[in-house]
Every structure is written in structure tokens, then in C-alpha cells.
Structure 1
């Protein structure tokens, strides 16, 4: 790119952000991209605190900062649209006012987008009190496609879009009131229209944070009827751009898994009010029956397939039974060996899944199928069948797998490590089969996160199988004194060293006392201890 050309317009909707804005502003002022090559457009949605005056002061102090003051709309869609209309950069990066950017985010992501001729560039995201996509950022993806990359795992708008692409297709956020899933409306359509989408996974660009107290623009409890109405509108977008078949089923799975089933499983279900659960289950049941082809649920792992089947059949009480079971699922992982050679740490691990005092297990039927053992009765065998997940080699995401992850303590950023593993089916004492994971991972601390390794690290084993994904922290603490430095590894299973005994005094008076004790001991036949 030519120096001095306006490469990026950063669009930030704001509403009463308070101190959260400090972190974002500091990150924008630290950007490695020259200030002549990017602009920041704050669009204030009628804040009632000191934000408007503060933004005006920032714009006065920094010529590349601009402020638009808008009448309060109560939702981020209109502020974002106003920002895009004002933007002049080749690319537009959306940022929320309680998030922040890494120092090289704009330079790296715009460079990667230009290098690959991308309409959309997605930078690696770190979550702080928020869940973020994991699988999408396993590797760099210069040409990520909906047919073979987990793009649908990331439907928030915190991405970089080519501005001409947004204009060409009139891509805007919906402004009809407080519409839920407003990101999904724009991003889904953008994915379907994009000539090329790229994913930068080897540098964390975006830090996605939950505002203390949860009082950001969209932190309002989901009202099921309105929420699912908006969700079905997003499904309309998918259906307008795809034909019935495997691709549409794959895309529909995203909303079934994350927006429906995730709300009806585990601790999220157990902790929700019952009347709300009943409403969500009813809306999900309607959507499954009216909008999804049979291949949508059929392509899910057994646990999710079973939950979807129970939802479709209106068996809400059984959902609570499974949620109780799933809440107790944990990974039992053993660190078998570890060895540090220079800068490289090698670890071998084994692991299994349990719920309570019993393994997550399978029953083998006379016809050779393996059915997930769940605490519910009269579930059709086709829902519980795990045989395809264990045997099929066509879809790695549906098969059991082992990952070893390095997590930086200071910011929670995670990195997948090279790992080789096997998953075996072994009998257990209650009958049936359980899965046993075994694997070996290697961590080179000269190259991890591009050599940015200073600080403390923990290692986690992540067991994935049959719809469960569970982490267990390995008992190793790793510390690097500087970027690329040789790591120091502490095995936390070892007891702390015992303090050294006090030095033995050897003066003449001490020698005389010891000689007297020895003589008395010989005379009485028992040991004499000093007080």
C-alpha cells in the first residue's frame, strides 16, 4: 500500500462507556499504523454521561479522531451505519466501546486483507469474560470458505470490511428498533457475497470484553419471541443465497447449535427461569420443524443431536435431566511425561471424560452401533448413535479429538499446539465403552505467538467428543523472562522443598553438652534429649 493513503476507518459506537473507553482510546493511540493512514470515527448514541465532551476533546487533540453526535437510538446499528457513511478509508474496522485493539492490529489486518485481495478480514479475537471462536483461529486462512472453514462461528461485526464491498452490496445494519442479532444480519449476508474472506490467526488483533455490570448497548435479557423472529429473518438471508442441500444445512447448523441448543443445555438451562426455558424451547421447536431440513440436526454430534430431538418432541423435562448430567461432565487428564530440551517443551498426556462417578460411555448394540449413554429413557437410537462420529474420516470437527493449548496468564490468549493423538474405545467396569485420549504435544517457546512469550503460561488439555468439549489444566507452570527466552518449567505436583535444618553449632560448650548426653545415655540405656 502507498504510504499516506487512508487505509482504515475505525468505527466505534458509544453510549455511556465510562472508564471502559480509556482502554480503547489508549489502544488506538498505540497503533503501529501511522496516524496518516487511519481514522477513528466515534458515533455517540446520545450518551448522558461525560462521554460527548470527552470525545470532542480527543478529536481536538488528535486530528485523525472524529466525532459524530447522534440522537439516542438505544442500539448500535444506527451509530455503526452513520460511521460507515462518514468513513473514507479503504477498509472499515468495527470496534465496540468496551473492547480494544492490539498494538499492531490495524497494520497487520489491513496488510493481510490487501495481500489476499479480501473483502473481509477477520483478526484473531481474545475473550475477556466472553466466549470467542476457537476453531476458526487454529491456523491462518488466506481464503476461508463457508464450505470448509468454520466462519459461521464468528458472526459478530468485529472485523475489517473493504468499504467498497459494503457500498457495492448496500450492506448495513438493520435499524428497525432494538433488533437482536443485528450483527448476524450484516455478517451473514457479507459472508455469502464475499469474493474472498481471510482469517489472520497468528496475531491477536481484537480483545472482546464484557463490560463490568453488563450494561453495554446489547446487554438486555433476550425476549424469546422477538429474538427468534429476528433469527428467522437471518435464516431468510441464508435461503435467499443458497439452494437446499449440504451447504445450507451446514449454515443452518450454526443457529441450531449456538442460538438454540446452547441455551437449552448444561448450566445455562439449569440456571434459567422455567417460564423462560419453556418459551425458548417452544420457539426452537417451531424453528426446527418449520425451517430446518432433516440434514441439519443429523449432522450434529450425538449429544447435540439428542438435545435437538428432545426439543423437537417437546420433552423439556428430559432436557433438564441431560443438563444435570452435562453440568457434571469433567475431563480427567493425566500428565504422563514432560521434557524440556532447550526452548522446546514436550508433554505426553492421557485423558477421559466422566460425569459424576461414572464415565461418559457408550453401549454397543447387537448390530454394532455405539449409542451414547444418557440419563433419559425412550430416546430413538438414531439420535444417540456415535458410530459415525468415531469412524468417519470426512469431518474432523465431528470426531473425538485432543488438543493441547498454551494460555498466557496475563491476557488469557490461547494458542493451539502441534499435537499427535489417538482416541481408543475401551471397556469399563460398568459395561459398555468409554473413550480414552492419548497424545503428545510440542511447544517451541522461540516461535509460540511469533516469539512473544514473555510472562507466565499454563497448559491445558482439551478433550472433544460426542458434543462435549472440556478443558483440564495440566500441572505445569511455565515462565519466560523475556520474549523467546528459554522457559522455566515448574511441576506443580511436586511438594515445595523442605527448609534446610538449622546449622549445628560446634563451639566448646555445645561439644561438652553432647558428650555428657552420650555418657548419660550409655548409663541408662535410653536416649536423653536436650530441652
Structure 2
């Protein structure tokens, strides 16, 4: 048993299994925390590892007084280790981390400070995704009193959050250990949101780096069993239904699972690359849930693309689902820089952007509803369906080293251009950003600019040929236009030598 006289501010609970060298980044990030070691503890729960992980953890505990290790028989899933760690935690707050992720240097200090300032039961810190998606809209701004009704909290259902330990204990909030194992964090987190007295979103500092390993070592990276997976989803729906009466809010919460865990598995390359028998199983499970569990307003509130896929699944039209997925695999964003300039630390930029299907601009119906022209019939929106939503474009700066993403301030003009009996939708975005103040002044590194185009159910990024290099935090940026001769030469030399940039890139002002 872990003992100690004082209650630490934060307990970090980490399930570990055969992690090998992938543990290094997490350990190094914990060693760099601005929160003093005596103010937090780390509880590693070794889930019956068969490699060198147990010895590595014991060695870490021997040299780090605030690191603790528990060894247990293999349970096969993170739920049991997380629950064991939560029972042993002494911290005022508990953070559940994965053994192959890592923290930003000030994460624990900032998360705890936010929790104390607002007396929060839960704090959701901004995440950066490495080869995996993380919520975007949720982290546009700090939210000191976020709820499922006033914020897109439902988009963040992984357990990588700060929870008040007394809150977890009061409500018996633990991870389900029996089958079904999939979506165990959804079931715990959505219940926590529904019971929380106050939930905060900390969006002005990237706290947690969430990755999908290239060796597919994450336990959730393996192909799911449709029956087990959707049994877990039904249990998540049960939790919502027990706390939220029928109506618009329940429909919106249900829609999150329809959109993310059901429709997303039947679209684009995710579907075309999957075995046919597996797709038929998934489509069958989705068809049954749509018919058994969802009110008409759930699917009706989806964007046009997702609504079309849900309709095809409900009708059992698997061949048409594949045809739509093959077409959608060619949908992408296209963006071009028409002007940019830098003065001191301030960059101004103008971008034109649009969605394209293959090599052609996306075509929309000319009836004013902004509905895309799909390659399958019979997917017209039902009466009362939500409108397509306002198409838009964002400019985003992504740090190449840390993968942090920052929305840049922009003004956008959207044009609808008739072309025969269809419309083309194009955007012009103009932004001005002070790179000395971007990301709270934490600007060191190379920032790749992107245009993010959203419309009709798609959100697609397109890389812009502009790099912003900051030698230090707050330093004057060096802007590189990758279309210039010197930039192309530098990249060619780097490729030939098999290393980084070999020819200095000049500052070019358009």
C-alpha cells in the first residue's frame, strides 16, 4: 500500500503493459513537470507485463520517491489497472494517463491551478494528437463552466483528464471491468460529465500529447469486434438515457456516437480498405441501433454526408455505402496563398480555399441548401432535417515539433458561384497574426500553416506552402515561402544528403 503523510495535489495513474522504450517520453515529461515532485505522485500499475517493463518500473520507483509501482496479473484491458490506481491515489486530483503518451512541462501545475481556481470536479486540458485525432472545436477557447448543453464536451470522451478524487469516490466513478471492454472510457467519462458540479476546459495551453504508435502497439489500435464494440456503445447510450430526458439535448448527445463511432467507420478509405464481411457486420449493428435506440432527430441533425451514410446503413444498402466511400476517398481541401507579408513579428496572409472531389471543385445543389451532389440516389434529407450548416475555412498554425495547433484570427468571405445547374463554394480568408504573442508567447519551433475547410460534413486540412521559423519563444519569425527557388533548392539538397536543411532559407516578402 502507498503511504504518505501529506496529500499530493495530483495523482497520475498509468496502466502499463509491455511498453518497452515507448515509456521514455512519458517518464521524461513527468521529470520535467513544473509542479514540484513532492506535490504530485505517479502510480504505475503493471498489468502482468511479460517483457522488461516490471523491472524498468521498479528501477524508476527506486530512484523517484514520488513514483510508485503496483504489479498485478494481466487483466487484458486498461480498466482494471486504472481502477487499482484510483483506489491507491492520495492526490486531491487524479489524472489518468496512457503509458505511451506524455505531458507538456507545465501541464499538472496548470490543470491543478485551474481546478482550484474554479473549484472544478473535472478539468479537460487541451490535447495534441500524434497520428490520431483529438477534439478541435472544444479547445477554441477556455471554458470555466462547460456542460454537455453549452459546450462540445461530448467530443472528448477519453479518460485523459483531471478528476477530483473525492468526486470519483462520492459517485463510485470507476471504469467498467467486465465485457464489453471497448468504449470503457466513454461509459465512465460521460457519467462523470453528467454528475459533475463544474467542468472546466483549459484551452490556452496544450497539456497532453496523445499518440497512436506506428507499431500499432496501442491496445485500441487492433481491429474491433463489431458485436462487442456496439454492446459497449449501447451501454453508453443507457447512461445518457438515465440522466437526460428525451428531447434536443439527448438527441445531440446520441448524435455524437452515431457520427463518430458508427458513420465514421463506413466512410472513405476507412471503409474501402476494410474486409467486406467486417463492413457488413458493422453496417448491421448500426442499422439495428439506429432503428432501436435513436429518435428521428438524431440522424436528422447530422451534416449532409453523415446523414446520407446513416440513411444508407439503415436501409442496408452496403453496395451503395461502398460506392459513396470510394467517391469520398477523393474528397480533399485545396488552398492557395494569394498574398502574404511580414512586418516585424506580424504576418498577414490571404488564402483562397475550397473542397474538391478528385481534381474538380465540389459541386453543390443550386437550391440554396448547400447540399453536395452525391454519386448515389435516395439520400435526400427527410423533412425537418438540419440545414447543411455554414461552410467555413480556418487558418491553423501547427508546430512541427510538438504538433500543437493554434487557430489564427481570420475574416472569411464565402462565394457561391453558379456553374450550370450546380454551385461552387469558394472561400477567401484573410488573417493577421503576431507571432511574438501566438500560443501565449510559446512560439519556439517551426510552424506549418494550413487551411481547414469545413462544409456539408467534411473537415479537411490542406497544407499551405508557408513555414514560420521561430528560433526562441517570442523571437522575430523567419518566414519561408516553399514555392521560392531557394526553398526548393534547400529541400532538394536535404533530400540528397538525407538530413535537415543544408541551405539557409532567406526571408521573402510577397
TM norm structure 2: 0.92
Q: Check if 1:372 corresponds to 2:372.
A: yes
CA distance in 2, matches of 1:369, 1:46: 56
Instruction: Measure how far apart 1:431 and its partner are.
Output: 3.1
For 2:411, the equivalent position in structure 1 comes to 420
CA distance in 1, matches of 2:179, 2:7: 37
Gaps of 5+ in 2: 1-5, 490-510
2:401 alignment partner, one of 399, 410, 421 = 410
1:463 alignment partner, one of 453, 473, 476 = 453
Secondary structure of residue in 1 paired with 2:24: helix
Secondary structure of residue in 2 paired with 1:427: strand
For 1:49, the equivalent position in structure 2 comes to 51
For 2:430, the equivalent position in structure 1 comes to 440
CA distance in 2, matches of 1:241, 1:332: 43
Q: Check if 1:496 corresponds to 2:498.
A: no
Cα offsets for 1:66-101 (capped at 9, x unmatched): 111111101110000000000010000011111111
Cα pair 2:79 2:177 within 8 Å, conserved: yes
CA distance in 2, matches of 1:422, 1:462: 14
Cα offsets for 1:21-61 (capped at 9, x unmatched): 11111111111101111011011101111111221121121
For 1:511, the equivalent position in structure 2 comes to none
CA distance in 2, matches of 1:403, 1:433: 21
For 1:480, the equivalent position in structure 2 comes to 470
Q: Which moved more, 1:295-304 or 1:275-284?
A: 295-304
Cα gap change, 1:498/1:212 in structure 2, threshold over 3 Å: closer, same or farther? closer
CA distance in 2, matches of 1:281, 1:94: 33
Gaps of 5+ in 1: 390-397, 500-531
Secondary structure of residue in 2 paired with 1:142: strand
Instruction: Measure how far apart 1:358 and its partner are.
Output: 3.0
Cα offsets for 1:456-499 (capped at 9, x unmatched): 11100111000011111112121112111111112222223999
Bigger Cα Rg: 1
Secondary structure of residue in 2 paired with 1:483: coil
Cα pair 1:336 1:348 within 8 Å, conserved: yes
Secondary structure of residue in 2 paired with 1:171: coil
For 2:244, the equivalent position in structure 1 comes to 242
Cα offsets for 1:250-284 (capped at 9, x unmatched): 10011000000000001100100000000000000
Q: Check if 1:335 corresponds to 2:337.
A: yes
For 1:99, the equivalent position in structure 2 comes to 101
Instruction: Measure how far apart 1:218 and its partner are.
Output: 3.2
RMSD: 1.8
For 2:177, the equivalent position in structure 1 comes to 175
Cα gap change, 1:208/1:369 in structure 2, threshold over 3 Å: closer, same or farther? closer
Q: Which moved more, 1:172-181 or 1:295-304?
A: 172-181
Cα pair 2:174 2:188 within 8 Å, conserved: yes
Alignment of structure 1 residues 41-440 onto 2, 5 Å: 41-177=43-179, 179-365=181-367, 369-382=369-382, 388-389=387-388, 398-428=389-419, 430-440=420-430
Q: Which moved more, 1:293-302 or 1:374-383?
A: 374-383
TM norm structure 1: 0.88
Instruction: Measure how far apart 1:302 and its partner are.
Output: 0.9
Deviation above 6 Å: which 4+ runs of structure 1? 383-386
